[in-house]
Amino acid sequence: MTEKSLTESQAREASRANTALKLERQLCFALYSASSLFTRLYRPLLEPLGLTYPQYLVMLVLWERSPLTVSEIGAALGLDSATLTPLLKRLEAAGYVTRRRDATDERRVLVQPTERGVELKEQAKDVQKELLCRLPLPASELTALHETLGRLNRGMRNAGETES
Amino acid sequence: MTEKSLTESQAREASRANTALKLERQLCFALYSASSLFTRLYRPLLEPLGLTYPQYLVMLVLWERSPLTVSEIGAALGLDSATLTPLLKRLEAAGYVTRRRDATDERRVLVQPTERGVELKEQAKDVQKELLCRLPLPASELTALHETLGRLNRGMRNAGETES
DNA sequence: ACAAATTAAATCGTGCACGATTTAATCGTG
DNA sequence: CACGATTAAATCGTGCACGATTTAATTTGT
C-alpha cells in the first residue's frame, strides 16, 4: 500500500464509521424522544383514571394474566422490586389491585386487580381508541415499528445478559 | 341491513378495532422497553466517564453547538428547567460544563462545555463504537428505525401542540 | 435435620421527569 | 417613564428508575 492509497482508504473507512456513529447518536435522541412523547400523549388521557403511565403498563400486564408475583410483573416490564413495590402500594391505595403473600411460598407477593381494577380495563379501551386517533402513522407503519423494536429489544436483552 | 349482516359487519368491525388496540398496547411495551434497554446498554459504558444517560444526551447537544441557554437545551431534548437545572449543576460540579448568566439578558443562563467537557467528546466516540457493536441490528434497519421514529415524533409533537 | 446458599420482596440513597409555583429580568403599551 | 404582561430559570412536591443492601423464606448439600 502506498502512502496515498492508505490515506484514502483510511479516510473512506473513517467516513463510514462516522456515519454509523452519527446514526447511533440520532437514534439516542429519536428513541428517547419517542418514549417521552408517547408517555406525554398518554398522560392527560390516563390522568382522569388516576393512573400514571408506568401504573398503566402494570395494569396492562395484570389484565392479561393474574395474579402475578412482583417478580413476574418485573420480568414483563424490566423493572425490579425497588421500583415496583412503591408503585404497587400506590395502586393498592387507589383500590385497583390487592397484594397478598403467597400461602405456598411466603416470600412471594401475589398482585391481582380488584373489581374496580377490572372495570378500569373497559375505560382504558376508550383511552386506547382516542390515542390511536392521535397517532400520526398508518397501522402498517405501526406494525413495522413494532416488529423492528421487537428485534431490537430481543437483541438488546441478549447483549445485556451476555455482557462481560 | 338484515339482523344477520349487521351482526357480521359489527363483528368484523369490532375485530379490526381490537386488532388495532392490541397493536397499540404492544407498542406501549415495545417503545418503553426499547428506551429502557437502550439506556441500560449505555449505562455501564458511560459510568466510567461519570455520566448518566440524560447527562450524556445533554453533552451530545452541547458538543454540536454551544453556548446554549437552558431553554435551548430543553427544546432539543423536550425537558424543562425543573429537570435541567439540577442536572446541569451536577455536570458543572463534575467539571464538564460552565453556567453563567447572559450579560445581554440576565434572565438567561448560558451553558458551555469546559475544556474537560470537550475532551470527553473523544472518549464518548469510543463508547459509541462499542455500543454499535453490541446493537444487534444492521445499519439498514437502524436507519429505517430512525426514519420511522422521526415521523412518529414529528406527528406526536404536533398532536401535543394541537390538543384541546 | 441442619447450616449454607439462594431467592423474593422491601428498603435506602441518588438522579431523572414533570406539574405548579416563585423570583427576577425584559418587553410593550399607554 | 411606568406598570402590567411576558419570559427565563429556579424551586418544590410527587412519582419513577436503579444500584446496593437488608430481611425473611425456601432450597440444597451433606
Name residues 5-64 of chain B with a Cβ under 7 Å from nucleic strand D.
Answer: 32, 36, 39-40, 43
Q: Which residues, numbered 130 to 159 in chain A, qualify as contacts with chain B under a Cβ-Cβ cut-off of 8 Å?
A: 131-132, 134-137, 139, 141-146, 148-159
Q: Considering the domain boundaries, does residue B108 fall inside one?
A: yes
Query: How far is it, in rounded angstroms, from Cα A114 to Cα A97?
Result: 5
Counted domains in chain B: 1
pLDDT of B158 reads: 85
Helix then strand then coil, % of chain A, to nearest 5: 75, 10, 15
Residues of A in contact with B137 (CB under 8 A): 148, 151-152, 155
pTM of the predicted model, to two decimals?
0.92
Q: Considering the domain boundaries, does residue B5 fall inside one?
A: no
Q: What is the CATH number of the domain that holds B65?
A: 1.10.10.10
Give the three cell numbers for residue B135: 446493537
CA distances from B147 to A127, B51, B116, B140 (A): 27, 28, 33, 11
Q: Considering the domain boundaries, does residue B157 fall inside one?
A: no
Give per-residue burial for B5-37: e unless 16+ CB within 10 Å, then b.
eeeeeeeeeeeeeeebbebbbbbbbbbbbbbbb
pLDDT of B164 reads: 42
Q: Considering the domain boundaries, does residue B39 fall inside one?
A: yes
The nt closest to A39 (CA vs C1′) is C17
- Per-residue model confidence as pLDDT tens for chain B (164 residues): 556 666 777 776 777 778 999 999 999 999 999 999 999 999 999 999 999 999 999 999 999 999 999 999 999 999 999 999 999 999 999 999 999 999 999 999 999 999 999 999 999 999 999 999 998 789 999 999 999 999 999 999 988 766 54
Q: Considering the domain boundaries, does residue A64 fall inside one?
A: yes
- From the CA of B87, how many Å to the C1' of C9? 31
Please tell me whether any atom of strand D lies within 7 Å of the Cβ of A103. Answer: no
- Per-residue model confidence as pLDDT tens for chain A (164 residues): 556 566 777 776 777 778 999 999 999 999 999 999 999 999 999 999 999 999 999 999 999 999 999 999 999 999 999 999 999 999 999 999 999 999 999 999 999 999 999 999 999 999 999 999 998 789 999 999 999 999 999 999 988 776 54
**Closest Cβ opposite residue A153 in set B30, B128, B134:** B30
Give the chain A residue nearest B150 (alpha carbons). A30
Q: Considering the domain boundaries, does residue B67 fall inside one?
A: yes
Residues of A in contact with B23 (CB under 8 A): 139, 142-143, 146
pLDDT of A155 reads: 93
Q: Considering the domain boundaries, does residue A91 fall inside one?
A: yes
Domain span at A38? 27-130
Residues of B in contact with A153 (CB under 8 A): 30, 33-34, 37
Q: Considering the domain boundaries, does residue A22 fall inside one?
A: no
Angstroms from B55 CA to nearest CA on chain A: 12
SS3 B106: strand
Strands, E assignment, B11-86: 68-69
